[in-house]
Structure 1
């Protein structure tokens, strides 16, 4: 029986501890039910505000860049490919004609010299034929060539 008394005493103690634990849990539950939790979002608000400011700045920068792009696009001119090719072709033709003209103008003294030589040959040939055809004129010309004494 002594053992039974010991066990009964132990059980009684355990039940008392269990009741104490339950009463503490009930007190804690009541405390937690009445406890007001106030969430603190100041850190999150600060981060979100800073992110919002960064986003606004990025958007403003993008608007400025887009404005510049639109300005330069409005200011620019586009030409069709065929017009560019035609212009280049015309410029090549103009440069070729201009180069040929400069070449011809630079050869004018040579052409004049050649023409003068040909004219001189024709004139001399004509006078020779004339003098061969009329010996009287040849004699008169030879007399005319001789230096005349000055009186």
Structure 2
């Protein structure tokens, strides 16, 4: 029985300690409820207002850019693909004709030289045939050459 009395005494002490702790907690709770606590949201409001202004500026800038793009698109001209292909084809033809013309012009001097040599050879052949067929004309020609060489 002595043991039971000791346990009962310990339980009584524990219950008294628990009641005291509860009393202290109630007083702290009452003090906290009576404390005038007001949260300060001015910094958060300022940040939100600044963010809102930044967003408005960004949206306005995007709208301005979109208006410029739409204006440029409206002013642009869309050509059909066949017109573009035809233009490229004409450009290629013009370049080919121009290149061929330049090539032909560059060959004119060679053609003139070849025609001159051919004409000279033909004339010399004709004169040589004439001089070979007419010995009197050949003698007169040689005399003329000698007189011309002396002068």
> Equivalents in 2 of 1:51, 1:140: separation in Å?
117
Q: TM-score, normalised by structure 1?
A: 0.57
> Equivalents in 1 of 2:71, 2:135: separation in Å?
93
> Equivalents in 1 of 2:146, 2:55: separation in Å?
112
Q: TM-score, normalised by structure 2?
A: 0.57
**Residue 91 (structure 2) aligns with:** 91
Deviation, 1:57, is 4.0
Deviation, 1:96, is 1.1
The reply on whether 1:82 has 2:82 as its aligned counterpart is: yes
Deviation, 1:134, is 2.5
> Equivalents in 2 of 1:147, 1:140: separation in Å?
11
**SS of alignment partner, residue 107 of structure 1:** helix
> Equivalents in 2 of 1:134, 1:74: separation in Å?
90
> Equivalents in 1 of 2:72, 2:108: separation in Å?
51
> Equivalents in 2 of 1:75, 1:134: separation in Å?
88
**Structure 2: gaps of 5 or more residues:** 1-40
Deviation, 1:93, is 1.1
**Structure 1: gaps of 5 or more residues:** 1-41
> Equivalents in 2 of 1:65, 1:142: separation in Å?
96
Deviation, 1:89, is 0.9
